[in-house]
Amino acid sequence: MNTRYDVIMIGFGKAGKTLAGKLAKTGKAVALIEKDAKMYGGTCINVGCIPSKRLVTDAANAPKEDFEAQAAYYQNAIAGKQQLTAALRKANYDKLIRAGVTVIDGMASFTDAHHIAVATAEGTLTLEAEQFVINTGSTPVLPDIPGADKSSKVYVSETIMDLAELPKRLTIVGGGYIGLEFASMYANFGSRVTIVQDGPVFLPREDEDMAAAIRKVLEDKGVEIITGAAITGIQDGTLTYETDDASRTLTGDTILLATGRRPNTDGLACEKAGISLTARGGVETDEHLRTSAEGIWAAGDVCGRLQFTYISLDDSRIILDDMAGRSARTINNRGAFSYSVFMDPPFARVGMNEKEAKAAGVEYRVVSMPAMAIPKAKVLRVTEGQLKALLAPDSTILGAELFCAEAHEMINLVKLAMDYGLKAEVLRDFIYTHPTMSESLNDLFAL
């Protein structure tokens, strides 16, 4: 095995594997270090986006009312998810090997700005490179709840997707987007779900009307939402919390801790390479994703900014350009930011909402419509939700919030229009195929 490379990627995430493959095809000697062979392809493929969305899709088609049938269906869904991730893991590994990348299983840590020590099953390797890219992702935040570390019934988002038995009662700690996805999914599978959050306001960053619409859909699925709860302990499947100056208990079969994720810099010894970290433990980078050490970049969740696979992919473009001496592409000019929460139906956003527009003193007007008014929503039998957009006085689109079937696809049209400065009239007058959810933009922007 070589001990010297042109570029070494630390982590098999989206940016790391994309850069590794592209650089290897140009003739560079490239190595990729991954500490866990079960994580080839990164978080998204193995314990994030792909398996969770596969389960979301399966849950939407789960049998209703008969729990035994639901439990059997769930077990098949978990098995199918495991087969999918195994196939994708192999495909990602094989793709890099064919490109000429050396993949090394082991835990990397810097010894200086040009060397790393890699602890492998066979011993420690010392590797040298001119350039490095850190792409080690993020890891779930584990809240300091007494008893949580002693309970076998406590899971995080990465581990619950291998839970063999469908829980009759699931408690989710955390009312953020990850918690909402799993709440919707498990309610559809047949679990009785309760969300417990410490904050007094449900979805505080979203506009009140959209938060209320999302809450209603969840409650219609049987999901109970408890806000303003100070959690005091966990014992087995029982959660203890305080609210309204009273101590209460909530007993369930399984507890999911969905309290966010933090950058994964553990064990990297960044300080030995002169790499600065942020106050929250992320790798500090500039607009080109350069770290404080020359020749070392960081990409994806480990930077401590937006934690999305498509952001990691775009990070790889920025780094590739920077390595080639092109500096036009930065994290500041990649356009409007959009995201989707894969509930049932999904919620997607791009740009400003009303809260943000008011806080920024931006003049705007609102256009909105119920999802029930969309013919394709009736065809799909998914009529819950609403669509909403903010327009500037000149009809420039400031932002959109879509809570309806196919919202995760539709939001990309709106982002495209925003990125290229298209006015709302363009989407209003566009000729869409019929019947589709996207043709609702004719009506949304006609209001």
Place of tokens 């009303």: 354
CA–CA distance, 47 with 161 (Å, rounded to integer): 8
Domains of the chain, with CATH numbers?
4-140+261-323 (3.50.50.60), 148-257 (3.50.50.60), 338-444 (3.30.390.30)
pLDDT of the residue at 232:
96
pLDDT of the residue at 65:
86
CA torsion angle 322 327 328 334 (round to 10): 40
CA–CA distance, 220 with 86 (Å, rounded to integer): 35
pLDDT of the residue at 357:
98
Quote the tokens at residue 424. Answer: 């709302």
pLDDT of the residue at 175:
95
pLDDT of the residue at 192:
98
Q: In what order do the strands lie in the sheet with 230-235?
A: 230-235, 238-243, 246-251
Residues with catalytic roles: 434
CA–CA distance, 52 with 115 (Å, rounded to integer): 37
Query: To which H or E segment does residue 440 belong?
Result: helix 440-444
Beta strand segments in 181-280, E? 192-196, 224-226, 230-235, 238-243, 246-251, 254-257, 261-263
Strands 154-156 and 246-251: unpaired
CA–CA distance, 60 with 381 (Å, rounded to integer): 12
pLDDT of the residue at 58:
98
Q: In 10 A of CB 64, how many CB atoms?
A: 8
Q: Which residues pair with 277 in a beta bridge?
A: 283
Query: To which H or E segment does residue 55 belong?
Result: helix 49-60
pLDDT of the residue at 244:
86
Instruction: Extract the residue ranges of the chain whose pLDDT is less than 70.
Output: 1
pLDDT of the residue at 421:
96
Beta strand segments in 287-363, E? 296-298, 338-341, 347-351
Quote the tokens at residue 198. Answer: 């410490």
pLDDT of the residue at 236:
95
Q: Could you please report the per-residue DSSP string of 100-137? A: TPEEEESEEEEEETTEEEEEETTEEEEEEEEEEEE---
Quote the tokens at residue 60. Answer: 């939407």
Q: Which residues pair with 340 in a beta bridge?
A: 348
This prediction's pTM: 0.95
